[in-house]
Amino acid sequence: MIPLHIKHLIYKEWIKTRWYATLGLILTFAFSVYMAIGTVLTFHHMDSAMYYSMLMTGNISLFTALKFKYWALLVALLIGLPQFLPEVSHKRIRLTLHLPVDTTTIVYSTVLYGLILCFAVLLPALLVVLVTLVAMFPAEIVVPTLQTMLPWLLGGITGYFFIAMIAFEPIAKFRFLYIIAAYFILRFFYISYGVGNAVTVYPLLLVITIVAGLSVLYTSYRFNKGAR
Amino acid sequence: MIKIVRILLILVTIFTMAFYLPSTYRKAVEKRPMKTMIYYSEVSNDFVIARETGDSLDTQAAMRYYTPAGTQLTEEEYMRLLPFNNRRKLKLMGNMPDSLHGVALTTDVLKNVKRSMLLAPRSSEYHLYPLFESAPERLGVSLPDDLFRFTGDGIEFVDCKTGDILAEKSARFRSAMAACGFTAPARDVYGIPSVLKRWDSGYFVVDVTGGLYHLMMVKGVPFCRKIDTDIAIKNMKCHTDEEVFAHIFDTQNRLYVLTTDYTIKPLETDVCNGRFFMTSNCFARTYKTSEADSSIMYVFSPDFEPLGRYAEVVDHYSHTDEAKWEQRIFPFSVMKTPGYAHFIPLFNAPAMFWLTNLLCAILWVGLKVYHRRRLTRPENIADFVVVLLAGVYGLMAVLLYPNRK
């Protein structure tokens, strides 16, 4: 059962993000349908054997159109920026952090709300991609393709955590430095690892995602204690 | 909890810096190394060395050619010694010999030069393969309408268009493979899954017991042959070649050749770094590899009998002052193996970087003293250790995440 004050907090976040979430939902769904139709048409127009041959020799790749690898990160920006920017620019976040509730509870209610919203926005698009893959290709193609896509999804989650972390940082100088650090850390998720190869790098990416998730605690603590 | 989170952030940042900073430094300071190339002359049956001379930044770099004894060759002599490499120029100059060691140098002979990169690590791939007709009625290779894969039961053919399993064809190939001793599932499949080849030589399949099998489709009929070997195969590089089916790397990166008469011959190469550049013509086969500071060429006869080995020290970044400064500045670096998802830490010798790390630690202590902080606090001791061990990275990371409110 969610306590009432957390429900109020979530409602506040919902008011800030609902139109951006709707926009993200429409765009990602429309683009994924467009991309799925493109894949199906290419498969049928080109001889299917030729399609497989080109796929296996690396001349075409699945679901790389429309910068698909960055969608999760873009959704994280679309949700994270309107969620945290007004709080930072008007220092309204002070009010939230000084509510008579444990800071960690407040911070993670806000962050988890945003994370769940990001998933909700991406879910229809991911389902379209998954259904297209499973309906058209055997497991030998589907599994490595999904293995290649997982770091991109983790990159989106990490990106969202870093937006929250940077937003909570009270000192502008450090905020700027954290943006640079976050940019370079996020690049690990978008390196071309080769089809299905990324499996060996999952532990590293997972550790980075967990640390990014915890990093919100560090800057919110600094904010709450009034670091100068 | 906050202190643990901070340390974790510092460690992630150190890892990130160790990946980006040394490579950025290298890009900024590295000069193009002078080229040194080793060739094998089919004319003199000896090596020819080409060395780039002159500072490529200031003056026009020029190639100089030498024999292994150090005698300098003119460019014309160099070209005459290497007719396969300089075919076009020699013909234009009218200097192309008609024959060599009693073999007429026809266009077919001169053009029949094969070059290939042999790498021990496998590249990623989808585990689906087209089984081509190896004895087609017309010349060339045409794409089949199905693909094969290996399951726990054996080979299985899948229709490309519908995704349906072709039960009859699968059963036919399965029984042919079982008849020659194949035990499913397959551990690895090697071949050339492209139609861009002169003819098809099928696939080489390693079964679950480590046995090697040659699989082909000849006039629609399965062809399977067990190849006797006890090599623990790591990778195979297949070729479209009259004499060679494939090169094999074992788990120790030793190189073997599988000839078209199903003989596996070990190639006597003493460097096992799993990277060779192979060239072959009708007179010799050469395998070039490199170590940190040298380029090495092994030469074999067309029957893979060793003919010679030559090593030449090459201009390399690791010999430069810039590289030494890199080792002094950075205690370690992280690199990603090209094409793979492995991040490898490369540690420099402590004798190189200890001074930088010590200076960083002194600087950090100085900053703490200047700001009147207590050095004996547990978080400050932890920071000191981080700076002492990670040097430049550690100093930047601890300053990026202040431990004070």
In the structure, what pLDDT confidence band is assigned to residue B142 with cuts at 50, 70 and 90?
confident
At B28-87, the pLDDT tens digits run 987 777 788 899 998 888 999 998 887 655 556 688 899 988 889 898 899 999 988 888
| Tally of structural domains, chain B | 3
For residue B174, being part of any structural domain is answered with: yes
Q: What pLDDT, on the 0 to 100 scale, is given for residue A51?
A: 87
Give the minimum alpha-carbon distance from A160 to chain B in angstroms, rounded to a whole number: 16
Residues B133, B253, single domain; the answer is: yes
Contact A185 B12 (CB under 8 A): yes
Residues B206, B241, single domain; the answer is: yes
Summarize chain B as % helix, strand, coil (round to 5). Answer: 30, 30, 40
Q: What pLDDT, on the 0 to 100 scale, is given for residue A227?
A: 62
Residues B190, B239, single domain; the answer is: yes
Helix (H, G, I), strand (E, B) or coil at B266: strand
If you average pLDDT over every residue of chain B, what do you get? 88
Kindly give the confidence (pLDDT) of every residue in chain A, 228 residues in length, as a single tens digit, with 9 standing for 90 and above.
Answer: 777 777 888 888 888 889 999 999 999 999 999 989 988 888 888 888 888 888 887 777 777 766 788 999 999 999 999 998 888 777 777 777 777 778 888 888 889 999 999 999 999 999 999 999 998 888 888 998 899 899 999 999 999 999 999 988 888 899 999 999 999 999 999 988 877 788 889 999 999 999 999 999 898 888 877 766
For residue B307, being part of any structural domain is answered with: no
Domain of A156, in residue numbers: 4-224
**Which of residues B262, B279, B308 is at a domain's end?**
B262
Residues B346, B370, single domain; the answer is: yes
For B309, counting Cβ atoms within 10 Å of its Cβ (0-12 exposed, 13-18 middle, 19+ buried), the class is middle
At B154-174, the pLDDT tens digits run 999 999 888 889 999 999 999
For residue B388, being part of any structural domain is answered with: yes
Domain of B389, in residue numbers: 2-30+324-400
Q: Per residue, what are the HEC states of B313-379?
A: ECCCHHHCHHHHHHHHHCCEEEEECCCCCCEEEEECCHHHHHHHHHHHHHHHHHHHHHCCCCCCCHH
At B322, list the tokens: 């810039």
Chain B interface, best mutation among A47, A56, A59, A142, by max B CB count within 10 A: A56
Angle between helices A103-136 and A139-168 (to 10 degrees): 160
* Chain B contact present for A168, CB below 8 A: no
At B175-190, the pLDDT tens digits run 999 999 999 899 999 9
For residue B295, being part of any structural domain is answered with: no
DSSP string across A135-165: HHS-HHHHHHHHHHHHHHHHHHHHHHHHHHH
At B106-125, the pLDDT tens digits run 888 888 888 999 988 877 78
For residue B152, being part of any structural domain is answered with: yes
Residues B374, B253, single domain; the answer is: no
Residues B130, B239, single domain; the answer is: yes
Residues B133, B231, single domain; the answer is: yes
**Which of residues B262, B290, B310 is at a domain's end?**
B262
| Tally of structural domains, chain A | 1
For residue B167, being part of any structural domain is answered with: yes
* Chain B contact present for A56, CB below 8 A: yes
At B217-251, the pLDDT tens digits run 999 899 999 999 889 999 999 998 888 999 999 98
Residues B245, B344, single domain; the answer is: no
Residues B231, B93, single domain; the answer is: no
The ipTM is 0.89
